[in-house]
Amino acid sequence: MGLTTPLIGGWTLSMSNFIDNAGKNGNGALMPQTFIEDPITPKAKAFIEAYHKTYNVKRIPSAVSAAQGYDAVYIFAAAVKQAGSGDTHKIKAALEDLKDPVPGVIAVWKKPYGKWDSKSVETHEAFRRENVVMGMVQDGKVIFAHDEDRKRLSSLAKAP
């Protein structure tokens, strides 16, 4: 069709089904991301390498999903540890007031959730603007669309 305007879409453009089916036609597609399969920190590098080895793949099919799930487990485990109990009410209270930072592959999570407040969209949403970058499809993988985003995510994910 001769279109030269880049495709801009949701995070799902980073998934292998889009990348593989689009082929070279997907190059330049842009999407918001919270994790890009790029070893920007030692923890991200270890996570990526372990995933590749465990599942015998060269690219994580949905890197955002894998990284968010990985970090969520660590945040939950930190809340259970802080609660000192399997009681769901105590775990919820701990999640809403985590005392210690939780190192993840996306970020070092410092109080990712607050006590529920129906008037604030941020109380039960761990991600903030600083966690989101633009990814771009290039030759079968997602890369950082902007180097300053790579630097910002790298600094957010460094251990305290």
DSSP assignment string, 80-140: HHHHTS--HHHHHHHHTT--S-EE-SS-EESS---S--TT-TTTT----GGG-EEEEEETT
- Name the pTM for this structure: 0.86
Given a cut of 90, whether residue 5 has pLDDT beyond it is: no
Domain ranges of the chain: 11-156
Q: What mean pLDDT is predicted for residues 137-141?
A: 95
Q: What mean pLDDT is predicted for residues 85-104?
A: 94
Instruction: Take residue 101 and report the two structure tokens written for it.
Output: 């930072």
Q: What is the pLDDT of residue 115?
A: 77
Given a cut of 80, whether residue 24 has pLDDT beyond it is: yes
Q: What is the pLDDT of residue 63?
A: 96
Is 83 within 8 Å of 37 (Cβ atoms)?
no
Cα 44 to chain center, whole Å?
10
Residues, the chain, total?
A: 160
Q: To the nearest whole number, what is the mean pLDDT of the chain?
A: 90
Q: What is the pLDDT of residue 160?
A: 60
Say how many Å lie between the first and final Cα of the chain, rounded. Answer: 50
Q: What is the pLDDT of residue 118?
A: 78
